[in-house]
A and B are shown apart, each in its own frame.
Chain A
């Protein structure tokens, strides 16, 4: 994969997951106790041997810069190549939405890169993929563009591209849908193509008034290019809505999902915080949970995920919840079906309860 330029698309489209994205791009939403969504695709690229990776910066880039920084944690802080940022460029009288304008603004940069291929991925998918298999597939099929998909089980809401793929792997139809049904082939937002094709697509699409890479660049060109799609049949989630976030978080409490995402030969990297191992105290009771380092647990935790540095007081009961970094749950608090963003303080003996299919969301830095 030495001749591949990686591009991580960060779109900041947060309409369906607003509560967690007031201060950050959706791709930077915390996930799985210590990660951010974007870690999964960045780590997959690096583990596949891609050493030159561009990260798209949204208009409000702080959350991205603060997390990814020099790229050191992904081994991308290199003397040559390594990590680079693609800033969003404000063009005068430009009111277009979508990711295409950012790609277009950086088109000369792609053009000058000496890589033969580009691999474009989205930062809001959860997966652990070795892209070498994708490259083999792409070459074997002699494709212009190769995408990846996952066969969905059950219904999934949120904006997703759904593919129709024939027996040979050729994508016969690509459509953007708001609901994905059982058995649909959901696109993973992964596109592998020659850089030449990529630059041609973004120039052409943008200059013809396009907004969106998928819609205006790929879907509208479906007749012009040979588009193939390869299946990825391990765990995948697309965090496009609050529901999807909650559901995929709960998925991690299945040992097979946890093990396949994190404990295989390719680790997922993230910003390191040097936290102390979890301290369980005398009265702690924990069942079916993921608990990140830096937590101190006095109370009980069931079917839940605790991020780094969460304090669980005496007599606290946490059930079916996701509690993010540095939350402080004081003695006697009861918490069920709740997603707490970072730094939430729940005072002594307070009760917080959401519905099983509709979690209560507590925004960042709130004291209850």
Chain B
């Protein structure tokens, strides 16, 4: 067997409670995005495109649809001999079972899996960001710096910096200190929640942290500060490009709308393909009275009404005379004739009856949860 140099672990167990109704039935990484994708397609495609073929996905909250979606990893071309997508929910041991008590604990509970893969480096990712990134470059930087840990950072507008974990670095990118949500930030380099650790180094800190009673077992709150405190070689890796946290209804809606700009800040048709489990559906059908402007529409849909500034997923029906504007309509949802949908996210398998209005407004996006019928 060929040696795994870098193993990726995607943290996909969070509830995503800020997405409210959209994560009632599914985990946040399984939430649909961008007309055909799910959020987890982005880190998975990045792994595949970066040459990282062994990926553990740590799941916990409502994982079944996510498990079903991941399947063998074939959709991301990860079903290879020495790789694959490994689904890692919490499991029972001799002395009972624990839930994942935090991001660090989730990795700690899977140290056996990491030892089986026996990589040199462990890349830790979260399943709730939209971006494309070549992790191979970050891994190179990690090796060149002979770092113990490398943390992906992105420069955010100064006024937004207090919302993030902020890295203060010297001119070589070495991290001097880390502040979680600082009121008066000294830097605007925000942590992207992307970490590369040298495996043995990570293992040591996880084992130490696991026995601490007062620890929250969280990378940002416990592990990273402890490492810095001990004077470990920790570097930042600056990422430039589109990176969006889609952890709230507003940000999810906005990230979808970003795709519709004439000059989109995030080009899905860039040099890397974003892979996804493709439904076997035909090109979408546009009826004789339809009008479509500034929108993205996917396969298997049937558009007879008006669609403007909206993202339409596979298998959606928009009936005659219906008006869909500023909306995200997820797979298999039906919008009846004469219905109006504006400033809304309509989740999958919903039915909006004829002539019904679903209307939100900027800053207060209306959400129709999965499987609902609005009459």
Contact = CB atoms under 8 A, between A and B. Distances in A.
Interface in A284-313: 284-294, 296, 301, 305-307
A132 interface: no
Contact of B286 (A261, A262, A272, A288): A288
| Interface range for A | 35 or more
Contact of B276 (A33, A274, A285, A294): A274
Contacts of B262: 281-282
B287 A288 contact: yes
A280 interface: yes
Contact of A288 (B268, B284, B288, B313): B288
A242 B329 CA distance: 39
B320 to A, nearest CB: 12
Interface centre among B34, B275, B281 (most CB of A within 10 A): B281
A263 B283 CA distance: 11
Contact of B36 (A32, A277, A296, A301): A277
Interface string A265-289: 0011110101011111111111111
Contacts of B294: 280-282, 284
Interface in B145-159: none
27 contacts: A34-B299, A259-B302, A262-B281, A262-B282, A263-B281, A267-B280, A270-B280, A276-B36, A276-B268, A277-B36, A277-B297, A277-B313, A278-B296, A278-B297, A279-B269, A280-B296, A280-B307, A281-B294, A283-B293, A287-B288, A287-B290, A288-B286, A290-B286, A291-B286, A292-B283, A294-B269, A307-B283
A41 to B, nearest CB: 15
A84 interface: no
A181 interface: no
Contact of B285 (A34, A270, A290, A306): A290
Interface of B: 34-36, 74, 259-260, 262, 268-269, 273-276, 278-300, 302, 307, 311-313
B298 A293 contact: yes
Contacts of B307: 280
Given A72-B74, A276-B296, 9 more contacts: A35-B282, A258-B282, A274-B276, A277-B311, A277-B312, A279-B296, A291-B286, A293-B283, A306-B283
Contacts of B280: 267-270
A291 B276 contact: no
A289 B288 CA distance: 8
Contacts of A268: 280, 282
A285 B291 contact: yes
Interface centre among B74, B284, B291, B313 (most CB of A within 10 A): B284
A296 B302 CA distance: 18
Contact of A291 (B259, B273, B297, B313): B297
A255 B299 CA distance: 14
Contacts of A72: 74
Nearest to B278: A272
Nearest to A267: B280
Interface centre among B34, B274, B278, B285 (most CB of A within 10 A): B285
A301 B303 CA distance: 14
Nearest to B287: A288
A278 B288 contact: no
9 cross-chain pairs, A with B, having the tightest CB-CB distances, nearest first: A277-B35, A33-B283, A267-B280, A292-B283, A262-B282, A277-B298, A276-B268, A290-B283, A277-B296
A281 B313 CA distance: 17
Given A287-B286, A290-B282, A290-B286, A280 B295 contact: yes
